[in-house]
Amino acid sequence: MKFKIVFVLAALIVVSCGKLGDKASSALDAVSDMGSGGANSVIAYNNAMVDYMNDAGDKITKAGDDYEKMSNMVTQKKKPTLFLAHAFIGSVPDINRERDGIFLLKPGNNLPSEVKEELTNSVKATAEAFENTHEAYKKFKDYYSNEDFKDDDWAKGKEYVDLIKTNIEAFYNKRTEAYKILRPISNQAEIELLKDHPLKESIIASKTDIGIAEEIVDIVYAEEIDVEALNAKYDELEANFTKHKDLTPELLEEHSKASNYKNFYEEIEEYLGEVRKCKRDGKITDREAESIGRDYKSLITYYNRFV
């Protein structure tokens, strides 16, 4: 089973307003009208949501790795020599816990009213999928440790494994849904705060390009890979690389950002090379998708060093 591993950015992605629904477009206008105070409130909510999603996502990724082992046990009806089941060891994120003064399910004035209900519903659904995964995982772990499979020929084990799979998929889908709602709004808030920033052009260029890189990851992790869309996004990123890699060199040097910006675009070039290699024969294997995902994760590191 190929679970999509999503690497979430603390920084945000530029999205064309023309692709948004009426509610989201109104929300963008609302952010512009809120001024710097309102923009900071939106970003505060975004950062709290990113923290929760990353913490929960780390656990879900490990549960996804263990899902393969659990599924094999149930299919083969055989207990392995060793199964550690450490996915949820340590602190487990709680959606109801305050994060830097933000309650994700009670956003208050941190979000435009146009999207508040829709976004909080998506966040709540993501959290429910996380909690359901955790619960089914714990039940399978107890079932395995107590060797209850000897009583029902692994029947209950299959139920738990199916629940884990369903809820891991729901977690990723609902998390993606939440980010699709919030990203353009948070991006508008950042642009509002950046309007007088001397490096605005370079920062927005880099945000745009890492956004395209993430769209490529979305495509290669899909169940049905749209090769035409992949080629189009590759071409867009390649064109942007040429256009953006040498932007505002004097300003970047003046603000001690030239080296980080240069390194980020060198990493973009590496990423393009990996995508080009993987898509050359017109299809993407699971292993190639994972390789592109790893390169994207590295790209995030360089991006965050710049911004």
42 and 157 inside one domain: yes
Q: What are phi and psi of 282, to 5 degrees?
A: 85, 10
Cβ 182 vs Cβ 46: under 8 Å: yes
144 and 205 inside one domain: no
Residue span of the structural domain in which 279 resides: 197-307
* Number of structural domains found in the chain: 2
How far is the C-alpha of 304 from the C-alpha of 301, rounded, in Å?
5
Question: Does residue 14 register a pLDDT over 50?
Answer: no
111 and 172 inside one domain: yes
Mean pLDDT of 84-101: 94
Question: Does residue 6 register a pLDDT over 60?
Answer: no
185 and 209 inside one domain: no
Give the domain CATH number at 212: 1.20.58
| pTM value > 0.85 | no
Domain boundary among 137, 169, 194: 194
Give the domain CATH number at 122: 1.20.120.930
Encode pLDDT of 176-228 as tens digits: 899 889 988 888 888 888 888 999 999 999 989 998 998 999 899 887 899 99
Taking only Cα atoms into account, the Rg of the chain, rounded to an integer number of angstroms, comes to 21
In 3D space, the residue among 273, 245, 275, 263 whose CA is nearest the CA of residue 299 turns out to be 263
Q: What is the model's pLDDT at position 292?
A: 94
How far is the C-alpha of 153 from the C-alpha of 92, rounded, in Å?
31
Given pLDDT bands bounded at 50, 70 and 90, which one contains residue 240? very high
How many whole angstroms from its chain centre is CA 180? 10
Domain boundary among 133, 166, 194: 194
Count of C-beta atoms within a 10 Å radius of residue 3: 18
User: In this structure, which amino acid lies at residue 224?
Assistant: E
Mean pLDDT of the chain: 87
